[in-house]
Amino acid sequence: MEKSQGKAGICGHKPKDAKHVKETLQNDAAPWDGGITQAIYDRRSIRRYTAEKVPHESIEEVLKAGMRAPSAKNRQPWRFTVATGKAKEEALDAMEKGLEREKENPLLPESTGYLQGAWHSLGIMRQAPVVIFVSNALGKEIGSAMTVDDRVSEICNAQSIGAALENMSLAAREQGLESLWICNTFFAQKEIRDWLGAEGEPYAAMALGYGDENPPARARKEMREVVEWRA
């Protein structure tokens, strides 16, 4: 997921210090070679891409993987908009307008400190040959009033879409591609929603292409920090 290098994105935090990274990577080898576990450990968030065109068939395989994700009540709330070429430029121009608007009339006033990270994400999206916008077709407009049931449905659908995005990032690796899961689109929510012109609410974007960098794994918390065992 996009968290600008050295800067926090809307959904991110600054990376930990080098000592923590080194300690984490020493215990971060995949338990065996090959298969889905290897793809999980090898996956990286890539921020530099070549201009090489991505075959249509490869994009379809990535989308199929997303569509095979589990979803709450099998609602399959995801909708995918694949933008390349001129359409991608139009979408990103809309996002740029939203980021400019956010300076004067912020949708996310408490997150303005992360706006620069969104500009960084925009630059990555312009470089990648493919951008896939992922919407929640059942989603309610951000800021709208919701009942408790509506809120629970939104949470469940967000989990479902997250599962789809993870599947897509792993399938990209299998296709020899790289990806970047981006949430900074929320700063330009209205503008992207208007460009999509579809029912529902934009939830994320994924940059897709052939990577032009090979970064090391980033730090992960230790199991003792995030797991509680009960018996």
Look up the CATH number of the domain holding residue 188.
3.40.109.10
Secondary structure in 3-state letters for the chain: CCCCCCCCCCCCCCCCCHHHHHHHHHCCCCCCCCHHHHHHHHCCECCCECCCCCCHHHHHHHHHHHHCCCCHHHCCCEEEEEECHHHHHHHHHHHHHHHHHHHHCCCCHHHHHHHHHHHHHHHHHHHCCEEEEEEECCCCCCCCCCCHHHHHHHHHHHHHHHHHHHHHHHHHHHCCCEEEEECHHHHHHHHHHHHHCCCCEEEEEEEEECECCCCCCCCCCCHHHHCCCCC
Question: What is the value of pTM for the model shown?
Answer: 0.86
For the segment 186-202, the average pLDDT, to the nearest whole number, is 95
24 lies in some domain: no
22 lies in some domain: no
What is the extent of the structural domain holding 86? 44-214
50 lies in some domain: yes
Q: How many domains does the chain have?
A: 1
**pLDDT tens by residue, 70-100:** 999 999 999 999 999 999 999 999 999 999 9
